[in-house]
Amino acid sequence: MSARMELAGKVAVVTGAAGGIGRAIARSLAVRGCHVALADVNEDGLTETAALIGNSVRVTRHSLDVANRDAVAAFPAVVLAAHGHVDVVVNNAGVALSGSFAQLTEAEFDWLLDINLHGVVRMSRAFLPLLQQREQAQLVNLSSLFGIIAPPGQSAYAGRGTGGPRLDRPGSRLAHVRRHRGRHPHPRPTRRAQDPSAVLCDPALLGERFDRADRRRSA
């Protein structure tokens, strides 16, 4: 097994960093000495996250919609210009829609999948070449328990849930970035804390309500 990845001095990209789990992950990485490139469509939220992190590490803020194919393709160059290299990419950005299958339109399903699933694919494809250049690197794709246990009113979100996790299964070869392979961190104190491939976040920082992910729902 590879040695535990030392995060001090590394550079991490975190999508969906304006709040919730993304903010918690960014703060947790910064506490460990990792410089962070924060990405989200919510620029005010990015400003708040950066303020919470402070000046202990280099923090850059980037307005990014992971559903925008061209913007994601250009993003690695932006991060390189700001930080010089990339060691960790955390695909955390996601949205949710409330409603039964019959209540949600095809356009709404497409909107959610373009962010929650295709956004992960785009980010992974864009940054993987940079990660492969590093001696140690991590590609982390977050998912949800809703992909396994689908609650009422979350048909669209749960339908996406099984896609992202399978992108970085060992057999897919997508996440083989030198000596490390992406995993799916869950914000709970379990033996995963000893896993050298997990990016850990403090559960105490995960206070925002899940339903706020619905903030970008189309009118």
Catalytic residue ranges:
157
Strand 11-15 to strand 88-91: parallel, antiparallel, or no bridges (unpaired)? parallel
Token pair belonging to 4: 């535990």
**Rounded to whole angstroms, how far apart are CA atoms 199 and 62?**
21
DSSP state of 170: G
In the beta sheet, which residues pair with residue 12? 36, 88
Cα–Cα distance measured from residue 76 to residue 209, given in angstroms and rounded to the nearest whole number: 30
**What is the separation of C-alpha 147 from the centre of its chain, rounded to a whole number of angstroms?**
16
Nearest to 66 by CA among 141, 14, 15, 129: 15
Q: Across-strand partners of 140?
A: 90
Q: List the one residue out of 66, 28, 20, 45 whose CA is nearest residue 164.
A: 66
Helix (H/G/I), strand (E/B), else coil: 81: helix
Q: Cα 136 to the chain's mean position, in Å?
A: 18
Which of these, 208, 103, 120, 108, lies nearest to 161 by C-alpha position?
A: 120
Taken as a whole, the chain contains a residue count of 219
